[in-house]
Amino acid sequence: MPKVKPIYLDYAAATPLDPTVERVILKYTKVFGNPSSLHGFGQAAKAILDQSRTKIGRVLNCRPEELVFTGSGTEADNLAILGAARAEGKGHIITTQIEHHAILRACEQLEREGFGVTYLPVDGNGFIKPEQVVAAIRPNTILISIGYANNEIGTIQPIKEISKALHQLKTINCKLKTVLHSDASAAAGYLNLNIQELGVDLLTINAAKIYGPKGVGCLFVRRGVELAPIIFGGDQEGGRRAGTESPALIAGLTEALTISEKKRVRESARQTKLRDWLIAELLKIPGTRLNGDAKLRLPNNINISLKGMDGERLVLDLDHAGIAVSTGSACTAQETGRSYVLKAMEAPKDWGNLRVTLGRETSEAELKYFLVALKKLSPR
């Protein structure tokens, strides 16, 4: 098999920086003033933040003041979970067994603080049903956190339906204070982010997943939702997140999200076609199974298990062949064996796992090269 340039098929872990985004970041690195300062240098920096809130607000269909800039998607998740819970002081939280560790470990911390947490099980394809969520709600349920789409298996959750069911319940019981959070880090660039249609109260965005810079994220906080800060210092971000903001990184996040939204429909259709072709070809390999639903998944996600194979070994062997894939979330890359997501889905034991995620630069030729390389590594 002829050697080609390295092939990147791990876009769910991190995306390359879009050239336009890079130019925007470089442009605004020259704006060095502190956005909280009253002089002209500071106000020039603040103007970038204000413009960014307005532009992101147009994408999400929300008010600019409902946006809080953070240092990452993880921080945005932590602020949503810890902030909303601690603002209430006590109560019950609902999440799922397959959420990102930024959610799960924040919930574990709240358990240590005396909050009750229900971790909903998923079905064999990784789905949560709205009726499951409703059945788990208690009079003291203060927060529900369910990811819009799972970054490991690509499962798209019925967030609109869950939101509708929650609002119907709150109409019946006006004393219910439950707010709904969804991590849209994996969904951005592929799924509809219109806040009014989704009906969520809190939404996480991560620039590193949408061809933007690492080290910056955003949390939508619906007006009226109280958050206790988790970082202490100044009164930046409306007193919800202390720390001097980076106009350059925030401008980069804004440009990345704007570009992703413009390309969303076209890129989703293109990558879905490639995804479905690759899944069909992979399933022709004996002892191969698809993890997650074949259709109700992110356009760029392919997650497979291979009987009798070691996933970590496959990742290393494919890397040696010039192909970058993963076994799951980069945040859990040091774990071995079945991931916690596959365990929750009761995927078979002793099967090696691969996550292949596509991006804007992915071509059919690259996928064909990957397929040939994988077949060479398979003993069947």
- Tell me: do 154 and 23 sit in the same domain: yes
What interhelical angle do 101-112 and 73-88 show, nearest 10?
30
**In the predicted model, is pLDDT for residue 7 greater than 50?**
yes
What pLDDT, in 10s, does the model give residues 313-358?
Answer: 999 999 999 999 998 654 544 455 679 999 999 988 889 999 999 9
Q: Of residues 62, 107, 174, 331, which has the active-site annotation?
A: 331
What pLDDT, in 10s, does the model give residues 225-260?
Answer: 999 999 999 999 999 999 999 999 999 999 999 999
- Tell me: do 11 and 23 sit in the same domain: no
- Tell me: do 288 and 251 sit in the same domain: no
> CATH number, domain at 357?
3.90.1150.10
**E strand segments, the chain:** 7-8, 67-70, 92-96, 116-120, 141-145, 179-183, 202-206, 217-221, 288-290, 301-307, 323-324, 351-357
pLDDT > 70: percent of the chain: 96
Domain end marker among 260, 294, 324: 260
331 is known as an active-site residue? yes
- Tell me: do 253 and 309 sit in the same domain: no
Domain end marker among 240, 260, 280: 260
What pLDDT, in 10s, does the model give residues 175-206?
Answer: 899 999 999 999 999 999 999 999 999 999 99
**In the predicted model, is pLDDT for residue 17 greater than 70?**
yes
- Mean predicted lDDT score pLDDT of the chain: 94
Mean pLDDT of 158-163: 98
> CATH number, domain at 24?
3.40.640.10
- Tell me: do 156 and 276 sit in the same domain: no
pLDDT > 90: percent of the chain: 90
- Tell me: do 96 and 202 sit in the same domain: yes
Does residue 8 sit in helix, strand or coil? strand
Mean pLDDT of 70-92: 97
pTM of the model: 0.95
Mean pLDDT of 44-60: 97
- Tell me: do 192 and 100 sit in the same domain: yes
Whole-number pLDDT of residue 333? 47
Domain assignment of residue 64, given as a range: 19-260
- Tell me: do 244 and 292 sit in the same domain: no
Q: Which position has the higher pLDDT, 172 or 379?
A: 172
Domain end marker among 245, 260, 275: 260
Residue 318 domain flag: yes
